[in-house]
Structure 1
Amino acid sequence: MLEQGRLGTRQLATLTFMMVIGDMMLIYPSVITSYAKQNAWICALIGIPLGMGLMAMFLKLGNLNPGKNLVQIARKYLGFWPGTVFSIIYLFYFLVGTSTHSREIGDFMTSQIFQFTPIRIIILMFVITLGWGIYNGLEAIGRTSELLLPIVIIFILVLSFCLLPKVEIGYLKPFTDTDVVSLTQGILVSVTYPVGEAIPILMILPYTARQAHRTRDIIAAVGLGNLMLAMLVTISLLVLGAFLTQHNIYTSFILSQKISIGGFFERIEAIMATSWLISTYFKAMIYFYAFIVGIAELFNLKQYRILLLPACMLVFGMANVVAPNLTFIVITIVPYWVDWDTTLGILLPGMLLILMIFKKRKKSISN
């Protein structure tokens, strides 16, 4: 086995929650509101059960092949060369995902907090921390996520409750002026962005202890993560309105600046930034881990750590060239990213699962 460490069910559920929240904590309200306007909160709520169903499909794919990751599953059911091409598509997706998350960190920090720091320095520091986490192994990643999870959850709850005095119900009206196409797009975003991007779980599932209630706990973690995001979308609409929510890419950061209770509890945007950095860090690290382990599996290497240094250099380089600036990401990349997530997070895994079930039934009938 490439990985000697083992994750417990609670650690895997924690990492799943981090992948669902991830960078979505900051940009999700803006993205979903750009499609569904003031009805984005409805789409976010509908996305909770749909996202849980999508994660159940991922787990079904993994549970039918215990001890095998996505690369091994693809080669088993598609054949060696088609499975290899299938795996390369996903490995490229994991690489681009890691690079994009690193670039998001750089853009956010240099535009909101460290305006005079070169973005390459921020990205370099982030990539080094990613490499250090991967070097220490999957078990260390899981245990660290358990320690830092309360910070993320507590901030979302504090942000939501402290903004209640600034709520304007009228921002949610009218309820019925959004067309069906926009609502459908909003629902698709609510499923593909948070949960469809959790497809790397199939690369870490083989290294998880098969404990009781594993499937239930992971699906519950997905539901909790989507519920937290729905809370952020709702509070953003109630406080800022649909127009400002749509046109502020860092909506949660703007909301945290509006908190002021008694002239004492205010200016907590640094805490917000910290919690977002934590969740994005773990999401990027799982993507990075899936990429490195997938490459090692693809070439039948005995260990993956020898790939760590060149992979870090590759991610650092791609993070600097993936987009020239933040405006390019918002205008050009974001509208098409949902199609990519839909293809790799829903369509291809669904087709692979159907093929797997068909082959198993055909084999049982022939026997």
Structure 2
Amino acid sequence: MIEKISLKQFAILSFMNIIGTSIIFIPTVAANFGKQDAWIIVLIATVIGFFVISLYSVLSLKSNGKSFFELLNRTCGKWFGSIIIIIFISYIFLNIIANLWTISQFIAAQILVGTPSGVIIFIILFTTVIAVRSGLEVITRTMEVFFPFIVLSLVLLCVFVLPEIKAENIFPVFQTDKSKLFIGGISILSFTFLELVILLGVMDQVNHTEKIKKYFLIGTLSGSLIIMIVTLLCIMVLGVDATSDYTYPIYVLGQKINIATIIQRIEGIAAFIWFFTNFFKICTSYYVLLRGMQHVLKMKDYKVWTIPVAYLIFSGAYNGYRNAYFDFDHTTYVPITIIAGVILPILILLATIIKKNNGQSNKT
């Protein structure tokens, strides 16, 4: 029996997936491209992201209650469809490794200083395996439990840092080269909205799919708005140069909080936000990866592969990614994400429309 989740749970799932990873790196990436106009870059990415989400929603409706992987086989044929699925799950595999590596490096460098990253990766991956084996419904219900605390933490972080704001840091506005704003917007789009292509693998498990676009937009646009606010606060509190230089600017933002010498250095809030949003993002991606493998390999139960695949992910996160992260993420990963998140969905949608029109013409 296929597990089902509500529209509200899907909105929270979308929110977690767009916040995870992005919220801690986007301010730095945006500041490198747009300087004091960094928040405008996030706004550009959000506007383009609206159309990306609309594309994914249309694809979901085209599946008529079937899974995304079944849609691929039905539209592209058994063999070619399977090739596309393998490309898709390979991208998800790469995405999981990247997210797992980044969160392990953050914890090892900022929280559990001196702890081997391999130990952190193992603990997170072990917990992820338990979550994925429990199913999507359990994952989304757990998200519902943590969601209010994450939102509260975001609000507290933004409110407590207000006394440290220096408004002059965002001026002059619109002085950055427009081409850099556009390129930066595409880069940020790749790390936020385009990664949500992974959610196509669970959209068939959402109740009342005819309303999915509305809740998809609610989750993603609210998450993008928070990223834009955090980016703006980083620029106004830390300044352009510091935001560009720090690897984890939102964490430093928490360190700047000082209210009457009583409430200060509560960077743990930022760590809490990022850890749990990124963890749920990894869980979701892992679940979709296994569903794709289940479809290609014609397995009855995806749970059989949870532990073997975990070994591969651990090896990739610990050995294969750590020395090439910056260059890979800023050169290779963006075009890969554009292919997986834009080009493939558009081609699949066109193939679906063409096949439908051919079927109607044959009937007449």
Deviations 1:257-311 (A, max 9, x none): 0011111111211222122110000111111111111101111111111111101
Could you say which residue in structure 1 is the equivalent of 2:261? 263
Indicate if the aligned counterparts of 1:36 and 1:185 stay in contact, CA closer than 8 A: no
Indicate if the aligned counterparts of 2:29 and 2:188 stay in contact, CA closer than 8 A: no
Deviations 1:51-95 (A, max 9, x none): 122111111101111232232222211122211111111111111
Cα shift at 1:22: 0.7
For residues 35 and 336 of structure 1, do their structure 2 counterparts lie closer, same or farther at Cα, with a shift above 3 Å needed? farther
Task: Confirm whether residue 301 of structure 1 aligns to residue 309 of structure 2.
Answer: no
Q: In structure 1, how many angstroms separate the alpha carbons of the residues matched to 2:230 and 2:158? A: 7
Could you say which residue in structure 2 is the equivalent of 1:147? 145
Match of 1:340 among 311, 336, 339: 336
Q: In structure 1, how many angstroms separate the alpha carbons of the residues matched to 2:43 and 2:165? A: 19
Report percent identity of matched pairs.
25
User: What amino acid does structure 1 have at the position aligned with 2:330?
Assistant: V
Deviations 1:15-55 (A, max 9, x none): 11101111111111111222222211112123223212211
Match of 1:73 among 68, 71, 74: 71
Q: Which runs of 5+ in 1 are unaligned?
A: none
Q: In structure 1, how many angstroms separate the alpha carbons of the residues matched to 2:304 and 2:269? A: 36
Cα shift at 1:365: 3.4
User: What amino acid does structure 2 have at the position aligned with 1:202?
Assistant: L
Q: In structure 2, how many angstroms separate the alpha carbons of the residues matched to 1:158 and 1:335? A: 35
Could you say which residue in structure 1 is the equivalent of 2:213? 215
Cα shift at 1:321: 1.8
Match of 1:17 among 15, 18, 23: 15
Matches within 5 A, 1:267-282: 267-282=265-280
Q: In structure 2, how many angstroms separate the alpha carbons of the residues matched to 1:125 and 1:166? A: 36
Could you say which residue in structure 1 is the equivalent of 2:360? 364
Deviations 1:189-228 (A, max 9, x none): 3322211101111111111212663321121111101101
Match of 1:188 among 183, 186, 189: 186
TM-score by length of 1: 0.95
User: What amino acid does structure 2 have at the position aligned with 1:129?
Assistant: T
Could you say which residue in structure 2 is the equivalent of 1:175? 173
Could you say which residue in structure 2 is the equivalent of 1:234? 232
Could you say which residue in structure 2 is the equivalent of 1:102? 100
Indicate if the aligned counterparts of 1:38 and 1:237 stay in contact, CA closer than 8 A: yes
Q: In structure 1, how many angstroms separate the alpha carbons of the residues matched to 2:204 and 2:210? A: 15
Q: In structure 1, how many angstroms separate the alpha carbons of the residues matched to 2:331 and 2:151? A: 28
Deviations 1:153-204 (A, max 9, x none): 2222222222222222222222233222211112213322211101111111
Indicate if the aligned counterparts of 1:293 and 1:304 stay in contact, CA closer than 8 A: yes
Q: Which runs of 5+ in 2 are unaligned?
A: none
Could you say which residue in structure 1 is the equivalent of 2:112? 114
Deviations 1:307-353 (A, max 9, x none): 1110111111111123234xx41244333322221111112111211
Q: In structure 2, how many angstroms separate the alpha carbons of the residues matched to 1:279 and 1:120? A: 21
Structure 1 stretch displaced more, 279-288 or 201-210: 201-210
Q: In structure 1, how many angstroms separate the alpha carbons of the residues matched to 2:185 and 2:64? A: 32
Indicate if the aligned counterparts of 2:24 and 2:251 stay in contact, CA closer than 8 A: yes
Structure 1 stretch displaced more, 191-200 or 128-137: 191-200
Indicate if the aligned counterparts of 1:8 and 1:211 stay in contact, CA closer than 8 A: no
Deviations 1:127-157 (A, max 9, x none): 0010010011111011001111122222222
Structure 1 stretch displaced more, 44-53 or 55-64: 44-53
Could you say which residue in structure 2 is the equivalent of 1:87? 85
User: What amino acid does structure 2 have at the position aligned with 1:133?
Assistant: A
Indicate if the aligned counterparts of 2:61 and 2:209 stay in contact, CA closer than 8 A: no
Q: In structure 2, how many angstroms separate the alpha carbons of the residues matched to 1:235 and 1:16? A: 23
Could you say which residue in structure 2 is the equivalent of 1:165? 163
Match of 1:138 among 130, 136, 139: 136
Q: In structure 2, how many angstroms separate the alpha carbons of the residues matched to 1:57 and 1:272? A: 32
For residues 357 and 155 of structure 1, do their structure 2 counterparts lie closer, same or farther at Cα, with a shift above 3 Å needed? same
Q: In structure 2, how many angstroms separate the alpha carbons of the residues matched to 1:212 and 1:359? A: 22
Indicate if the aligned counterparts of 2:3 and 2:205 stay in contact, CA closer than 8 A: yes
Q: In structure 1, how many angstroms separate the alpha carbons of the residues matched to 2:209 and 2:295? A: 25
CA RMSD across the alignment: 1.6
Structure 1 stretch displaced more, 144-153 or 206-215: 206-215
Could you say which residue in structure 2 is the equivalent of 1:353? 349
Per the alignment, in what secondary structure is the counterpart of residue 263 of structure 1? coil
Cα shift at 1:359: 2.1
Could you say which residue in structure 1 is the equivalent of 2:319? 321
Indicate if the aligned counterparts of 1:91 and 1:291 stay in contact, CA closer than 8 A: yes
Indicate if the aligned counterparts of 2:15 and 2:223 stay in contact, CA closer than 8 A: yes
Indicate if the aligned counterparts of 2:12 and 2:219 stay in contact, CA closer than 8 A: yes
For residues 297 and 212 of structure 1, do their structure 2 counterparts lie closer, same or farther at Cα, with a shift above 3 Å needed? closer
For residues 356 and 211 of structure 1, do their structure 2 counterparts lie closer, same or farther at Cα, with a shift above 3 Å needed? closer
Task: Confirm whether residue 45 of structure 1 aligns to residue 47 of structure 2.
Answer: no
Q: In structure 1, how many angstroms separate the alpha carbons of the residues matched to 2:52 and 2:322? A: 33
Indicate if the aligned counterparts of 1:33 and 1:186 stay in contact, CA closer than 8 A: no
Could you say which residue in structure 1 is the equivalent of 2:58? 60
